[in-house]
Structure 1
C-alpha cells in the first residue's frame, strides 16, 4: 500500500532509504476512525502528531451561535500540527469526514526523528509552510473573492493537492465533501453553494455529483477562479 505521507514528503526533499524506513515505521501505529469522529477537540491538551493515512478530515471551530467554520481540509498524506505541543491547549478541533486510518506519532519521537534526519525535517517544514500558504489563500477567498470564484478556487486547490499524491483520475477526483461542508468552509449557505455549483456546471467548467468532481474544462475553471497555484509551492516538488 502506498504511504502517501512518505510520497508527499519525498516531493519536498530527497529522502534516503533509511529516512523512508523510519517514516514507514513511525506511521505504522494507526487507528481506524469512524465518519465525523473528533480526533481532538478545541480546549484539549495537544497530543501526538496525527498523520492521515487513509480518508479525509477537517479542522473546524464552533462559534457561540452554534455555527461551524471549516478551517482546512485534510487528505491522505497530511500531518496535523507539528508544533502545536508548544501550546497549552488546542484552539480548534479536528474531525474525520470519512472513515479514516490515522497514524499517531508521539511528539518526542517526531522531535528526535527531525533532529537525526535533516532531510525529513526540511520536508516537514516545507509542508507546514505550504499549509500556512493555503490558509492565507483561504482568508483571501473569504475576504475578496466572489462566491463563484471561491468555489472554483477551492475545487482547483483540492484537485491539484490530490493529483500530487496520485488520487485523481483523468480530470476526476473522488471528493467526499457535502454541500453543507463546502458551505461551512466558504462562508456560504448550502442553498447558495448549490446555486453556484449549478452555474459552474452550466458554464461547462466542472461538475460535482455524488462525491465525484469532474473538471470538464480546466482552463475555464482556472479563469473563473483567478487561480494561481503559487501558494501551493508545487515548483518546490521534485520531478
Structure 2
C-alpha cells in the first residue's frame, strides 16, 4: 500500500466501507514522510502549524508540562493516529507531541486535508469522529489518574493500548510490542518510576502480564479488564475489535 498507511485505512473502514475513490485518495495522501528518533518532539505547545502529523509507524505521546518541569502524558498515539488533527481548526497547539520510539511520520498540509474533506464528506466525517474519540480518551484518562489506584491505572492503560493496537492490526490475540519505558508510564499515570516498577512486578506475580523486552502478553484478558475497570465503550470501536 502506498506510503504504508494500512492502519489509517483500517480505522476508516471500521466506520464504513470505502469506495474505490475514497480508498485511492487516502492511499495517495500528499505528505512529507520523515523518520524521527525516539524522545523527540514532533510538534510543541504554542506552535501554529500549517500541517498535521499522521503516525505511520512507532509510538508517540501527547503531553503537557507544568511550570516546574513535570510532564503529564495525556494520551499515547499509534500507527494510524493523527494526534494533532485539531490543529486543522485550532490555530495554536495547547499540547506537545513527542516520539516514544523511532517513528515514521507523514506531515499532511492542512490545505490538502481541507480539500479532501470538502470533496469526500464521509472522510471528513470520519476525521471529525477521530477528534471526538481523542476527546473521549482524554476524559477517560482524567478518570483514570484522578480516581483509580496505581495498579488499576496501569491495568486500564494496558487494556486500552492492546485494544487500540489490535484494531489496526498491530497486535495478535492478547500480545503486542509495547516500547514504552517505565518513566513514560510514570508520566502517563501520575506516579513515580519506582512505583511503576512495583506495580508491574505485582501484575506479573498476579499472572496479569508476561513481558520480555518490549513484548507483552496478557494471559488472562478478562482478569486484566476487571483489574483496570476497563470498558472499551469510550473507544467507539466495532464490537469484534474491542473484545
Output the TM-score relative to the length of structure 1: 0.94
Structure 2: runs of 5+ lacking an equivalent: none
Tell me the CA shift for residue 174 of structure 1: 0.1
Structure 1 residues 64 and 28: CA distance shift in structure 2, 3 A: closer
**Match of residue 181 from structure 1:** 184
User: In the TM superposition, what whole-angstrom CA distance separates every residue of 1:110-135 from its partner, at most 9, and x where no partner exists?
Assistant: 01101110221122122222111111
Tell me the CA shift for residue 27 of structure 1: 5.2
**126, 135, 138: which one aligns with 2:129:** 126
Output the TM-score relative to the length of structure 2: 0.92
Tell me the CA shift for residue 47 of structure 1: 2.9
Structure 1 residues 48 and 138: CA distance shift in structure 2, 3 A: same
> Is 2:131 the counterpart of 1:115?
no
User: In the TM superposition, what whole-angstrom CA distance separates every residue of 1:119-158 from its partner, at most 9, and x where no partner exists?
Assistant: 2112212222211111111000011111111000000000
**Match of residue 226 from structure 1:** 229
Structure 1 residues 189 and 209: CA distance shift in structure 2, 3 A: farther
The separation in 2 between residues aligned to 1:208 and 1:131, in whole angstroms, is 28
Q: CA RMSD in A?
A: 1.7
The separation in 1 between residues aligned to 2:31 and 2:50, in whole angstroms, is 17
Structure 1 residues 230 and 216: CA distance shift in structure 2, 3 A: same
Alignment check: 8 A CA contact 2:30 2:112 kept: no
Structure 1: runs of 5+ lacking an equivalent: none
**Match of residue 69 from structure 1:** 72
Tell me the CA shift for residue 175 of structure 1: 0.1
Residue 43 of structure 1: SS of its match in structure 2? Answer: coil
The separation in 2 between residues aligned to 1:187 and 1:70, in whole angstroms, is 9
